[in-house]
Structure 1
Amino acid sequence: MKPTASLFKVALLSTCLLGTSAALAQQPPAQSFSDLNMPSAEVTPHPEYIKALARTAYLWGWPMVNMQNRHDQITQAPEPGRLGGVLPVAPRGQIGMLADYIEPSQRFIACPNQDVVYGLGFFDLDEEPVVVQVPDFGDRFWVYAAYDQRTDQFGELGKPYDTKPGFYLMVGPNWDGETPEGITGVIQSSTSLANIVPRVFMNDTDEDRAAIQDLIDQVVVYPLADFDGEMKTIDWSEAPAIPNPSDSGGGGETQWVVPENYFDQLGGVLDAVAPLPGEEAMYAQFRWLLDLAERDPDIKQVLVDEAIATDEEVIKPFLRWEHNGRPAGNGWNRSTNNAEWGVDYYDRTGTARSNMFDNRPNETQYFYTDYDASGEQLVGSNSYTVTFPADALPPVNGFWSMTMYDEAHFFADNDLGRYSLGTKNTDLQMNDDGSLTIHVGATKPEDAPESNWLPAPEENFSLYIRAYWGKDAILDGSWQPPAIEVAE
C-alpha cells in the first residue's frame, strides 16, 4: 500500500521538528545585553547616517523632554497659585487647583477641557514621595490622572475605580521607605518625575459652582513629611496669581521642546527613564550618538540641524487630526492607546504635540476632526449642524462634551464665553424626535436656539468630542460620532 499524502506531511513535519531541535541544541547560550558589542565613538560615520538616527531619537524622546521642561517651569512657583492668573501651579511636591473652568487665555496645554475643574502638580517621587488627598465626591464624576515621564498613566484614582476617600501615597520606582499608618493606598510611578492632573466634573451653573467649592478645597497634595492624618484644605478661590515669565510665542501652545537644545537634554532622559523591555539597544544607539557629538562639534551641529528639521517636518503636522489615532467613522478619528502608550511611539509623540495629558481609554475616549462630512476643512464662515440621533448621544457613565478649537487647539474667544456643549449644559433643547442638533459657526443661525449654538472663529477650526467613562459602545468602537453637515 502506498503512503498517503497525510502520512508524507506527518513525516516531513517530524523531520523539520527534529532538525529544529537539533539546531537549537547546537546554538550557543543566549547572551545578556551587557555582553553584546556596542558602537564605538571613535568611528567616523557619514552625516546621512547621523541624520537618520538623530531623527529617530528626536521623535522617540520628544514627549519625555517635553515633560521635563514642563516640570522645570511649573515647579518654579513660589507657592500654590495660578500662573499668569489662569494656570494651576505649585512648587515641587505640591499641587495647584482652579476654582472654575480653565480660562481661554492659558497656553500651557493644548486642547483644554471646559467640563471640569482642573488641578496640576509635578513631583520627584524618589526624592520626595507625596500624599494625595481624596475627599468624598459622592456621585460627582472625578478622576486624578497621574503620569510618569513617558506620559503613561499610573495608578487608579477616580470614580471609574470606585476609589474610596482617604490619603494615597505616591512614590517613585526606587522608594523603599515605610508607609505610615493612616495611608489608604500606595501608588508607584515607573519614573521619579511624575505629575498629576485632577479633573472634577462641574455643571455650567452657578448652583454647581457653589456646590463644588468645598470638595475641590480638599484636593490637596503635599510631601509625605507633612502627613499628619488630618484632611487639609486650601481655599482655591483665593489662590494667588503668580507672574508668568514665559511667552508662548503667539497663539499656540508654549514651546516646551526647543530643537536647538534637545540633544543637550536627551542624555538626562536616558539616565532618568529606565528602558522598557526591548529598548536597551535603542538606548545604546542614542548614547553612542551623544558620545559622537561630544567628541565632534560638526556632528553636534548635524544633530541640531536635524532636530530643527524634524520638528518642522514631523512634529508640527501632528496638529492635524488626520495624523492622530485611527478612523472612527463619519470623518472623525479616535484616540489610540491614550496614556497607555507602551511602545506606540507614533501616537505618544503625536498626542504630546496635539493634546498632551489624555486620560487612558477606559477613563476617556476622544474623537476629533478638522473636516466636515464632505471632507472639506471646517471654517467658521460656514454654518454646520451636528445632529445626534435620538438615543444616540455618546453612551457614557460619566459625561460627554463637544468642544470647538482654533487651528492651534485652543479656545477662540466669543461673546458667550462658550467653548463646549454637552452634559454640563442643562438648557440644551432637543428636537421633536428626541435628537439633539448642535449648531457650529461664527454666526448663530436665525432658527437655532442660542443654547445649542457653539460659536466658532471666522477662520479654520476643529471639533473634539470627549466621552468620559464610556460604556461598551464607546470602548469597542461601535458608537460613531455624527456627520458634520454644512447647513443649507
Structure 2
Amino acid sequence: MLEAAPKAIRPSVSLKSYGLGFFSLDDEPVVIQVPDFGDRFWVYALYDARTDQFGHLGKPYGSKPGFYLLAGPRWRGLKPDGITDVLRCSTALANAIPRVFQDDTPEDKKAIQSVINQVVVYPLKDFTGQMKTIEWSKVPDILGPKSSGEETKWVVPEKFSDEFGEVLDIVDPLPGEEALYAQFRLLFDTAAKDADLKKLLVDTAVETDHAVIKPFFEWRHNGRPAGNGWNRSTNNAQWGIDYFNRTGTAKSNMFDNRPNETQYFYTDYDGANGELNGSGSYEVTFTPGQEPPVNGFWSLTLYNDKHLFHPNDLKRYSLGTKNKNLKRNSDGSLTLYIGAKSPGGEKEVNWLPAPDGKFSLYIRAYWGKEPILDSSWQPPKIEKV
C-alpha cells in the first residue's frame, strides 16, 4: 500500500501492488517471473525507451504463470528450455511495471505477499527453471530524489539540445524517422560550431517548456474530452509517432497502460467548469449500473495540485472496487464525497479527503469492457454542493 510522499515520476494509485524495474538489454536478456495470481487482476506493463509498451503479459491476454524472457533488439539467441515466451523490446533500455490488484482489507494485504515475493527479474545467465523469491517487505526502501514536495524536474530546457543528441545515438529510429534523425543531427552538429544558433536552440527550448510543456500538467490539455468535464487518455503506451500526446503523458502521468488494459479519466474541474478546490464540497454519483464497466477493477483517486497524494489521517487516497464497505444509496446508486471536511456519519466511508487548495480527480478503469473502449461510457458530473 502506498502512502502520501513526494513522487518522482507519476501519480500513483493505492489499490494495487506496484513494481518498477529498469533493465539494460544491450548484452543479455533478462527473465521476468510470473507467479500464479489466481483470480486476481494482474498485468505487467513492459516499456521501451519511448514509453511504448511491448509484449502482452497479463490477465487480459490469458498469460500463464512462468518465465518470460525480455530481449533487446540485437539479441540473436534461441528460446532456452523452460522459458515460456520471448518478448522483444525495440530498444536496449526497457522497464517493467507489474500491477496486481489487492483489496483494502488487512487479510488481503497479508495474503498477497507470498505471491508478489515471486515477482522477480534477473539476467538470463541466472535462470535455473525454478521460481526465485525475494521477501520484498524486508527489502530496504530506495529513496527517491530529494524533494520539497514539488515536481521532480527531469528535463532541463537549457541542456535539452545537448542531451537529445545523446538519446538519438542510443535509441534507433522508428521506420520513417530516419530523415528526422538526420535533420536533428545536422542541426546539433551545426549548433556546436555556431554560438548564435546554439543560443537560439536553448532559448527555443526554454520558451517551449513554458508555453507547451508546462500546460500539459493541467488535465484539460491532456488527451481528449470524455464528457461531463472529464478528459480521457489517447494512444497511451502505443504512441508511435504521436509525439504530442506522448509528451503530455510524460509530463503529467508517465507510464500509462495500453487502452485495453487501463483507461484513464481525469479532471481539475467540476461539472460547472469550476476549479476543484478543497474549500468546497463535491459529490460524484454513479447511477445504478453506471459505475465504470470493467473486467478488472476501477478507482477514483484524489491528487493535490502537484499530482501527489494528499496526506490525511485516514491514509485514504482512492475509493473503488477495493473498498468493501462503501455505502450505497437506497436506489442502488453510489455517491462519493470529496472535500477537506468530512461529510460525517455513515457518509464518511465514502469520503475522499481533499487539501484546502486545488486538487484533481482521476478515474482508472482496468481491463475495461466495450463501453469504456468505444467511449460510450462517460464519467458522472462532479457536483459542487
TM-score by length of 1: 0.77
Partner of 1:146: 46
Partner of 1:256: 154
How many percent of aligned residue pairs carry the same amino acid? 65
1:137 partner letter? F
**Maintained 8 Å contact 1:366/1:464:** yes
Partner of 1:247: 146
Count of matched residue positions in the alignment of Structure 1 and Structure 2: 385
1:243, distance to aligned residue in structure 2 (A) = 4.7
* Comparing 398-407 and 273-282, the one that deviates more: 273-282
Partner of 1:165: 65
Q: Distance in 1 between matches of 2:231 and 2:142?
A: 38
Q: Which runs of 5+ in 1 are unaligned?
A: 1-100
What SS class does the counterpart of residue 338 from structure 2 fall into?
strand
1:447, distance to aligned residue in structure 2 (A) = 5.5
CA deviations on 1:240-290 (whole Å, 9 max, x unpaired) are 13455x323x32332111222221211122122222222222212111111
Partner of 1:228: 128
State which of 226, 237, 242 in structure 2 corresponds to 1:328: 226
**Maintained 8 Å contact 2:79/2:85:** no
**Maintained 8 Å contact 2:297/2:321:** yes
1:463 aligns with 2:378: no
1:134 aligns with 2:38: no
**Maintained 8 Å contact 1:421/1:452:** yes
State which of 66, 73, 77 in structure 2 corresponds to 1:177: 77
Partner of 1:215: 115
1:286 aligns with 2:184: yes
State which of 171, 175, 182 in structure 2 corresponds to 1:277: 175
What SS class does the counterpart of residue 170 from structure 1 fall into?
strand
1:419 partner letter? Y
1:405, distance to aligned residue in structure 2 (A) = 0.6
What SS class does the counterpart of residue 86 from structure 2 fall into?
strand
What SS class does the counterpart of residue 209 from structure 1 fall into?
helix
1:191 aligns with 2:81: no
Partner of 2:212: 314
**Maintained 8 Å contact 1:146/1:197:** yes
**Maintained 8 Å contact 2:6/2:149:** no
CA deviations on 1:44-101 (whole Å, 9 max, x unpaired) are xxxxxxxxxxxxxxxxxxxxxxxxxxxxxxxxxxxxxxxxxxxxxxxxxxxxxxxxx2
Q: Distance in 2 between matches of 1:389 and 1:130?
A: 47
Partner of 2:376: 478
1:397 aligns with 2:279: no
**Maintained 8 Å contact 1:143/1:198:** yes
Q: Which runs of 5+ in 2 are unaligned?
A: none
State which of 93, 96, 101 in structure 2 corresponds to 1:201: 101
- More RCO (CA 8 Å, sep 6+): 2
Partner of 1:66: none
**Maintained 8 Å contact 1:429/1:451:** yes
Q: Distance in 1 between matches of 2:42 and 2:227?
A: 29
Partner of 1:79: none
Q: Distance in 2 between matches of 1:267 and 1:179?
A: 35
1:352 aligns with 2:250: yes
Q: Distance in 1 between matches of 2:176 and 2:82?
A: 39
1:247 partner letter? K
Q: Distance in 2 between matches of 1:106 and 1:218?
A: 28
TM-score by length of 2: 0.98
Question: Residue 201 and residue 106 in structure 1: after superposition, are their counterparts in 2 closer, same or farther (change >3 A)?
Answer: farther
What SS class does the counterpart of residue 309 from structure 1 fall into?
helix
Which of these two proteins has the greater Rg computed from alpha carbons?
1
1:110-121 to structure 2, matched below 5 A, reads 110-121=10-21
2:128 partner letter? D
State which of 366, 371, 375 in structure 1 corresponds to 2:264: 366
Partner of 1:52: none
CA deviations on 1:445-468 (whole Å, 9 max, x unpaired) are 246511100000010111000000
Q: Distance in 2 between matches of 1:334 and 1:424?
A: 22
Partner of 2:312: 414
Which structure's residues are more often helix, by fraction? 1
Q: Distance in 2 between matches of 1:178 and 1:102?
A: 40
Q: Distance in 2 between matches of 1:433 and 1:232?
A: 50
**Maintained 8 Å contact 1:110/1:253:** no
1:443 partner letter? K
Question: Residue 335 and residue 308 in structure 1: after superposition, are their counterparts in 2 closer, same or farther (change >3 A)?
Answer: same
Q: Distance in 1 between matches of 2:194 and 2:279?
A: 54
**Maintained 8 Å contact 2:226/2:379:** yes
2:235 partner letter? N
Q: Distance in 2 between matches of 1:243 and 1:273?
A: 28
CA deviations on 1:270-316 (whole Å, 9 max, x unpaired) are 12222222222221211111111211233222222222221122111
Pairwise CA RMSD of aligned residues? 1.2
1:29-44 to structure 2, matched below 5 A, reads none
**Maintained 8 Å contact 2:300/2:318:** yes
What SS class does the counterpart of residue 449 from structure 1 fall into?
helix
Partner of 2:337: 439
Q: Distance in 2 between matches of 1:424 and 1:109?
A: 24
Q: Distance in 1 between matches of 2:108 and 2:150?
A: 31
What SS class does the counterpart of residue 295 from structure 1 fall into?
coil
What SS class does the counterpart of residue 190 from structure 2 fall into?
helix
State which of 373, 381, 386 in structure 1 corresponds to 2:284: 386
2:90 partner letter? S
**Maintained 8 Å contact 1:252/1:409:** no
* Comparing 122-131 and 271-280, the one that deviates more: 271-280
State which of 153, 163, 169 in structure 2 corresponds to 1:265: 163
What SS class does the counterpart of residue 112 from structure 2 fall into?
helix
**Maintained 8 Å contact 2:282/2:382:** yes
